[in-house]
Amino acid sequence: MKNLQYLIIILGITLSHSLYAQNCRNYEKKCPSPPKEFKVSSLSKSFSLRKKQIVNIKLTLYADRTYFFSVDGKKSLGDIHFRIFENNEKRRILYDNAATNFSKTKMVYVKSTTNLIIEISAPSYFKDRVRECSGLLVAYKSNAE
């Protein structure tokens, strides 16, 4: 009987977590929109954040394109912090929105194909066990003629 109770509890926790994760679906659509000439990329993501969590998203960006990045999250998360890194041994920081008063958008021109990491967190969010929805919208336009 005890084993059955444990199984029901574990199943309940698993299902509630799965249902919550689905609530964040398509949250990237709430991010600031790109200019009209940009095409929204399938690289866009929705995810949940919790206290002290950092989400790293690896992207390959293609040559001769301008990329538009925007982030957003539930109001309770506060400012969304995002940084763009080179995806190599050096991991040099290319952009940090903390330097621009936590701007939600950034546009980047890519000269040659490159691999990047977008790091996203909510540094002023302090609820221990509560996850909140957030998203990253990626859009691009080709600069080739």
Residue ranges of the domains in the chain?
Answer: 26-142
Residue percentage of the chain with pLDDT more than 90: 64
Q: Distance between CA atoms of 116 and 57, rounded to whole angstroms? A: 8
- Residue 113 has which token pair? 């194909």
Q: Distance between CA atoms of 123 and 114, rounded to whole angstroms? A: 28
Residue 127's pLDDT is what? 73
Element of type H or E holding 5: helix 2-23
26-142: in CATH 2.60.120.380: yes
Picking from 48-57, 68-77, 105-114, 126-135, which range would have the lowest pLDDT averaged per residue?
Answer: 126-135
User: pLDDT tens for residues 1-33?
Assistant: 655 555 455 555 544 444 444 589 999 999 999
3-state secondary structure of 30: helix
Task: For residue 121, give the amino acid letter.
Answer: S
Q: Distance between CA atoms of 74 and 126, rounded to whole angstroms? A: 13
User: pLDDT tens for residues 59-72?
Assistant: 999 999 999 999 99
| Mean pLDDT, residues 79-102 | 93
Q: Strands 65-73, 132-142: parallel, antiparallel or unpaired by DSSP?
A: antiparallel
Residue percentage of the chain with pLDDT more than 70: 83
Q: How far is CA 21 from CA 13, 47, 130, 135, in A?
A: 12, 8, 12, 12
What's the whole-number average pLDDT of the chain? 86
CB count, 10 Å around CB of 117? 16
Q: Distance between CA atoms of 58 and 93, rounded to whole angstroms? A: 14
Q: Do 55 and 123 touch, CB atoms closer than 8 A?
A: no
